[in-house]
Amino acid sequence: MSKHELEVIGQDAACCPGLSVAPLDEDQASELAKVFKALGDPVRLRLMSMIASRGEGGEVCVCELTPAFDLSQPTISHHLKLLRQAGLIDCERRGTWVYYWVLPGVLDRLAAFLTTTQPAEVTA
């Protein structure tokens, strides 16, 4: 693996228990940090939002993403590449265009990690 590639987060929920369940070990923290680093840029966060807003199984053409930004096409492609390397999205080239979609379960796993369980309410 080159030093510019990020490892994809594990596909099972055991990868990263929620914050309120158990402390992260070093490997889990390292993997999650890569994802949060990818999402830590406003452009990448907007791109992720635009792609995810298409819903489960939805996809968006890069030709629809680029005009939303005052950035060059190579810069947008670079940001998309970083999201892909973080294991958040995937893509497929069709002719001259590239289509992007959120990888199944990625947002659910991040949400589960960030969600704290509420203690059961005691009723009298």
Residue 8 scores a pLDDT above 70: no
The string of pLDDT tens digits covering residues 19-62 is 666 788 888 888 888 999 999 999 999 999 999 998 777 899 99
Give pLDDT, residue 18.
Answer: 60
Under DSSP, the state recorded for 19 is T
Mean pLDDT, the chain, rounded, equals: 82
Long-range contacts of 39-47 (CB under 8 A, 24+ apart): 39/86, 39/88, 41/79, 41/82, 43/69, 43/71, 43/75, 43/76, 43/79, 44/79, 44/82, 44/83, 47/76, 47/79, 47/80, 47/83
Domain annotation covers residue 14: no
Flag whether 1 is in a domain: no
Q: Does residue 3 lie in a domain region?
A: no
Domain count across the chain: 1
pLDDT-derived band at 14 (thresholds 50, 70, 90) equals very low
Q: What pLDDT digit, counting tens, does each position of 50-63 carry? A: 999 987 778 999 99
Range of the domain at 66: 23-114
95-122 pLDDT, tens digit per residue, is 999 999 999 888 888 888 888 765 556 5
- Tell whether the torsion through CA atoms of 100, 104, 108 and 113 is positive or negative: negative
pLDDT the model gives residue 10: 44
Structure-token pair, residue 23: 């402390």
| Separation in Å, CA 92 to CA 29, 56, 121 | 30, 16, 47
Q: Residue 62: inside a domain, yes or no?
A: yes
CATH no. for residue 37?
1.10.10.10
Angle subtended at Cα 4 by Cα 44 and Cα 1, rounded to the nearest 5 degrees: 130
**What confidence tens digit (pLDDT) does each residue in 74-103 have?**
999 999 999 999 999 999 999 999 999 999
Q: Which of 32, 53, 36 is nearest to 100 (CA)?
A: 53
Residue 1 pLDDT more than 50? Answer: no
Q: Which two tokens stand for residue 72?
A: 């060059």
92 within some domain = yes
Q: Does residue 11 form part of some domain?
A: no
